[in-house]
Structure 1
Amino acid sequence: MNRRGAVRTLLYIAGGTLVLPACFRQSGAPSIALQKLSVSEAEEQLLAELAETLFPTTDTPGGKELLLHLFVLKMVDDCHGPEDQRAFSDGLSAFIQWSHGKLGHSFTLAAPNEQVALVEAIQTRADDDIAKFYAMFKQRAIQGYLNSQYVMTNLVKYELIPGRYNGYFPVEKD
């Protein structure tokens, strides 16, 4: 055995022992830094699935790919008052329990048609924590979708104000 091969093998083993624990560890923390909200990693995944249910992936990117759930979390954390933030957190907790009771398992493990049926059932609910949470989430998810880079560059054609000049526009006399 030559010395270079032994050193190379030793470096591979040392690098693997440093990287391997990071592969199996779940942090439990959300992907973005939030100042006022506290959201776990599982709740963030649930919000990602909810965004994907609202905006499914077709020939355009879906809610998960556009990271709408992170947009919603950041907007609720930064732009809403303490009452709305508390209603969002309480509604999220109530939604997790309600969906688990309805489906028998987590919302993230449900089939897409079950997720759609559950979201449709939320829309018929009265004014409670889940309905407030869903209304806030839906409003911010729509805002995030319409302001996403994909929509603003590929779907919306931007024209500078006052718009293009049409020299042949018919002018009528009054």
Structure 2
Amino acid sequence: MNRRSALKNLSMVLGTTALPSWAYQWNTQSFTAAQGPNTELLGAVVNAIIPETDSPGAKTIGAHLYIERMVKDCMSKEDQQAFQNGLQKLVSSALKNHQKAFQQLSSQDQINLLTGLQNSSMPEDNQFFKRIKGLTIASYTSSEYFLTQHRNYTIAPGFYHGCVPVQ
């Protein structure tokens, strides 16, 4: 087992336990209307990872907004720069291979580019894919939609009844 990889994964898991309060049961109203320069690109990426089917996709629930906020608020400057470099690599490979922006590609071409990053021999490409996929899944599974529609989440799951006969 690769110790360095295990330590990175452990730090990612432990890092998610210290998330800000807005990161739990969020919805699209949780974020301000200000969007960054990569909002459209991130929307296309998360839509390729969790597309819309009979249930809303990641872009529909606003996972790209969550990811932008996570990158801005929770990552170090070095990690933010690595994330931006990964996005730029994705843009440049889309332009090089298909002569189109990533957002304008067909869903199959988008998936092929992301799979290329996943299977890349360059560790920074592989790490970027793991990070974007992990953030997409984390944003989807912590969204208000997922928690209320698929997990039957309630804020107060039980009630205290003090006058109940005990048998």
Q: TM-score range by the shorter chain?
A: 0.5 to 0.7
Query: Shift in Å at residue 128 of structure 1?
Result: 4.0
Contact 2:90 2:113 (8 Å CA) reproduced: no
- Which residue does the alignment assign to 1:98? 93
Spell out, residue by residue over 1:30-83, the C-alpha distance to the aligned partner (whole angstroms, 9 max, x if none): 9536xxxxx42xx32111011000110001101111111111110111111111
Q: How many pairs were matched up?
A: 125
CA distance in 2, matches of 1:126, 1:148: 33
Secondary structure, aligned partner of 1:64 = helix
| Structure 1 partner of 2:50 | 55
1:108 to 103, 119, 137: 103
**2:139 pairs with one of 126, 139, 144:** 144
Q: How far off is 1:90 after superposition?
A: 1.4
**Superposition CA RMSD, Å:** 2.1
Q: What are the Cα deviations for residues 71-120 of structure 1, in whole angstroms up to 9, with x where unaligned?
A: 11101111111111110111111221112112221111111111112222
Counterpart position of 1:79: 74
Structure 2: gaps (5+ residues): 1-31, 159-167
Q: Residue 109 and residue 147 in structure 1: after superposition, are their counterparts in 2 closer, same or farther (change >3 A)?
A: same
Whichever of the two has the greater Rg, that structure is 1
CA distance in 1, matches of 2:33, 2:96: 27
Identity of aligned residues (%): 26
Which residue of structure 1 aligns with residue 130 of structure 2? Answer: 135
Rounded to whole Å, the distance in 2 between the matches of 1:154 and 1:55 is 17
Q: In 2, are the aligned partners of 1:63 and 1:69 still within 8 Å (CA)?
A: yes
- Larger relative contact order (Cα-Cα within 8 Å, sequence gap ≥ 6): 2
TM-score (norm 1): 0.65
Q: Partners in 1 of 2:97 and 2:124 — Cα distance?
A: 16
Q: 1:128 to 1:99 in 2, by over 3 A?
A: farther
What are the ranges of 5 or more consecutive residues in structure 1 without an aligned counterpart?
Answer: 1-29, 34-38, 162-174
In 2, Cα distance between equivalents of 1:31 and 1:108: 21
